[in-house]
Chain A
C-alpha cells in the first residue's frame, strides 16, 4: 500500500493540475507505489496565506493520521463523517481559497496520498485490480478526496454547528449526488435535507438520490429562497474565525469543532422546507422501493 510521504515540508502549498498530472502514475493509482514527495515539492507554489498558522502542514497530517487510525478496522467510508468537519476547522479557508483546485491537489499528492488510496481504492468489477480514480487526487470539487469533504462541511454546517455535517456525511449520496446540485447552495434547503435524514424519513442512499432529484426538479418552478428565506449573508464572522486560527488549539478529536459564528439558518424556513420535501419524497419514485410505481426489477 502507498505510504505516508517520506518528505513533508512545514507548510501546505499549491500544486497546479498540470504538475499534479505527472505524479498520477499507475503505480500510485493502484496503491503499489508512493508519491514522489521530494520531486513534487519542487514544483509547488506557496499558499497566498503562507505566513499564517492555518498554512501549517503538520496539524492537517496529524488529523488524517488519526482518521486512518480511528477507522482502521472499520469501513473507510465511515471516516468521512468524522474527518469532514475537522478538516474544515483545521484548514479555515474562505470559499474563494477553497475554489482553487491547487490546494486540494497538494493535500492529496503532497500531504496524504496514503489516505486517498486507503479511502478510495476500489475494484471496478470483480476480478479487476483495485484502483483509485485519478479524479480523487485531482478533479472536480465534489469528487476530489479532500475537497468533497471540505465542501460538504461548508455547505451542510449550520453556522458554527457542524452537527448536520456528520448526519449528511453518514449518507454517501449526500456527498455524491446532493453536493453537485445547485439547490444545495441555499442553506435552508441543505438543512431541511439533512433533517429528513436525521429523522429517518430518508435512510438508504437510494432514497437520498430520490429525495435530491425530487427537490431539484421542484426547484425549477418554485423559488425556495422566497418560500424559505435565509438570513442575510455576513462575511465578518468568517473573517474573525480565520483570524482566530493564529491562537486556536488543535482541532478536537472527541467533540466536534466550532465553525464561524455566522447566524444560524432561520428555523421557520427549515420547517417549511422539511414539510414540503417530505411531501415530495413521499411521491418520489425510489429505485427498489416496493410501493413505488416505477419499479425497475434490474437492481439487485
Chain B
C-alpha cells in the first residue's frame, strides 16, 4: 500500500468505451461494430474492421466515480475526471477531461481521439479523478485499477495476445532460418512482437497445426501448440531480461514495450512474494552475478509452462487417449 499525504477517494472508479468511430480521408466516418470492442476484456480492436485506411478514431467513453467525490462536505474541490491514453513504445500520452453526465455526478462522459500514426501496438487507457486537496491543485485522488487496451495489431478484442505464426520454408527462407531447416519451428523475439516461424519444409506440420482433423489429430495439435507456446514464453522472458536498461545505481528498468509486459506478467511466478520491481532487480542480479541464475531456470520453466496451459492441455489429452483406448478395447 502506498501512503499519500492527503485524503484519497475510496471506492471503485471504472471506465467504459461506449462507441468507437474510425475517421479517415474524404471525411470517412465508420462506426465500429460492437464486436470490435469488448467491455468484458476491456479491449478495443480497430483491426477487426474491414477498413484499413483510417487515420484516427474517436472513442466515446464513460466513467463511473463514487458518489462521495462530489458530496458537498467532502475534502475535495475542483473535481476533474480525466482519461489518459498512453503507449510507452511511441512515448505518446493524450488526455481528455470528462464532463459530468446524469446520475448526480457519478457518471462522467467524454470523448478521446487516437491518431494512428502516433501508435504502434497497444495503447492503454485509464481514468483518474483529480481534485484540489488542502489547497493543492491537481492531486490524483482515485484511479481505475484495470486499464482498457486499444490494440492496433489484433483482429479481435482479446486481452491475451494471440501467437503470431508465420509459415515459411526454412531451406529457402530468410538466411538465419536456413541453418534450422531440420526443426519444425523457430521463435524470433527480436522484432516488435515475438513471432513463431513454422517450417513448411517440415513435412505435414502446417497441416497438423492448421487443420481440424480427427480427435487424435487435434490432441496432438493442441499438445504441439502448448509446446510452442512454452518455447515462446521462455524465449521472450530471456530476451526481455537480457536486454534491460540499467540505471546508474544498478537498478534495472522495465522495458516500455511488450518486453515489459512479459516481465510484469511472469515475474510473480519466477520470484514469488516480491513486488515486480524488486523481482526484476533480483532476477537481474542473479543473471549478471556469479550465482543464482541456474537455480532460477526451473522457475522460469514453471512460469512459461503455466502460461502455455501445458498442464490443462496434457491432462485433457491423456483423458482423451484413455477414452480412445477404452473405445477400442470394448
Q: A225-B82, A233-B115 are in contact. List 14 more A-B contacts (CB 8 A).
A: A16-B191, A18-B188, A96-B117, A97-B117, A154-B91, A182-B88, A182-B93, A223-B128, A225-B93, A226-B82, A226-B137, A226-B138, A227-B138, A235-B115
Task: Name A244-274 residues within 8 Å CB distance of B.
Answer: none
- Which B residues lie within 8 Å of A217 (CB)? none
A211 to chain B, nearest CB (A): 16
0 or 1 for each of A62-95: is its CB under 8 Å from B? (1 = yes)? 0000000000000000000000000000000011
- Which A residues lie within 8 Å of B92 (CB)? 95, 185
A11 to chain B, nearest CB (A): 20
The verdict on A24 contacting chain B, using a C-beta distance below 8 Å, is no
The verdict on A201 contacting chain B, using a C-beta distance below 8 Å, is no
The verdict on A282 contacting chain B, using a C-beta distance below 8 Å, is no
A151 to B92 Cα, complex, angstroms: 11
0 or 1 for each of B104-115: is its CB under 8 Å from A? (1 = yes)? 000000000101
A222 to B137 Cα, complex, angstroms: 8
- In the complex, the answer to whether A222 meets B176 with C-beta atoms within 8 Å is no
**A99-B89, A140-B255, A223-B130 known; A235 and B56 CB under 8 Å?**
yes
A94 to B92 Cα, complex, angstroms: 11
Residue of A nearest to B95 (CB): A225
The verdict on A143 contacting chain B, using a C-beta distance below 8 Å, is yes
Residue of A nearest to B137 (CB): A227
Residue of A nearest to B152 (CB): A96
- In the complex, the answer to whether B86 meets A185 with C-beta atoms within 8 Å is yes
- Which A residues lie within 8 Å of B84 (CB)? 225
- In the complex, the answer to whether B139 meets A222 with C-beta atoms within 8 Å is yes
Residue of A nearest to B118 (CB): A95
- In the complex, the answer to whether A235 meets B176 with C-beta atoms within 8 Å is no
Residue of A nearest to B113 (CB): A233
- In the complex, the answer to whether B82 meets A99 with C-beta atoms within 8 Å is no
- In the complex, the answer to whether B91 meets A185 with C-beta atoms within 8 Å is yes
The verdict on B90 contacting chain A, using a C-beta distance below 8 Å, is yes
B interface residues (Cβ-Cβ under 8 A, vs A): 4-6, 55-56, 80, 82, 84, 86, 88-95, 97, 113, 115-121, 128, 130, 136-140, 174-176, 188, 190-192, 243, 245, 253, 255-257
- In the complex, the answer to whether A151 meets B91 with C-beta atoms within 8 Å is yes
- In the complex, the answer to whether B82 meets A94 with C-beta atoms within 8 Å is no
A223 to B83 Cα, complex, angstroms: 12
- In the complex, the answer to whether B82 meets A100 with C-beta atoms within 8 Å is no
The verdict on A146 contacting chain B, using a C-beta distance below 8 Å, is no
A186 to B92 Cα, complex, angstroms: 8
The number of chain A residues with a CB under 8 A from chain B is 43
- Which A residues lie within 8 Å of B91 (CB)? 95, 141, 151, 154-155, 184-185
Select one of B55, B119, B136, B139 contacting A95, CB under 8 A.
B119
Select one of B118, B121, B255 contacting A94, CB under 8 A.
B118
A229 to B175 Cα, complex, angstroms: 50
Can you pick out 28 interface pairs between chain A and chain B where the beta carbons lie within 8 Å of each other?
A: A16-B191, A18-B176, A21-B190, A42-B175, A95-B91, A95-B118, A95-B120, A99-B121, A100-B120, A140-B245, A141-B256, A143-B245, A154-B91, A182-B93, A186-B93, A221-B139, A221-B140, A222-B138, A222-B139, A225-B95, A229-B97, A230-B95, A232-B113, A233-B94, A233-B113, A233-B118, A235-B55, A235-B117
**A143-B245, A180-B253, A185-B93 known; A223 and B115 CB under 8 Å?**
no
A21 to B120 Cα, complex, angstroms: 23
The verdict on A224 contacting chain B, using a C-beta distance below 8 Å, is yes
- Which B residues lie within 8 Å of A142 (CB)? 245
Residue of B nearest to A21 (CB): B190
- Which B residues lie within 8 Å of A180 (CB)? 245, 253
- Which A residues lie within 8 Å of B113 (CB)? 232-233
- In the complex, the answer to whether A239 meets B117 with C-beta atoms within 8 Å is yes
A184 to B115 Cα, complex, angstroms: 19
Residue of A nearest to B2 (CB): A220
The verdict on A17 contacting chain B, using a C-beta distance below 8 Å, is yes
A263 to B182 Cα, complex, angstroms: 56
The verdict on A43 contacting chain B, using a C-beta distance below 8 Å, is yes
- Which A residues lie within 8 Å of B120 (CB)? 95-96, 99-100
- Which B residues lie within 8 Å of A154 (CB)? 91
Select one of B86, B118, B140, B192 contacting A100, CB under 8 A.
B192
Residue of B nearest to A224 (CB): B138
- Which A residues lie within 8 Å of B80 (CB)? 226
A275 to chain B, nearest CB (A): 12
**A96-B90, A185-B86 known; A222 and B117 CB under 8 Å?**
no
B86 to chain A, nearest CB (A): 7
- Which B residues lie within 8 Å of A204 (CB)? none
B224 to chain A, nearest CB (A): 24
- Which B residues lie within 8 Å of A21 (CB)? 190
The verdict on A19 contacting chain B, using a C-beta distance below 8 Å, is yes
The verdict on A47 contacting chain B, using a C-beta distance below 8 Å, is no
0 or 1 for each of A202-230: is its CB under 8 Å from B? (1 = yes)? 00000000000000000001111111011
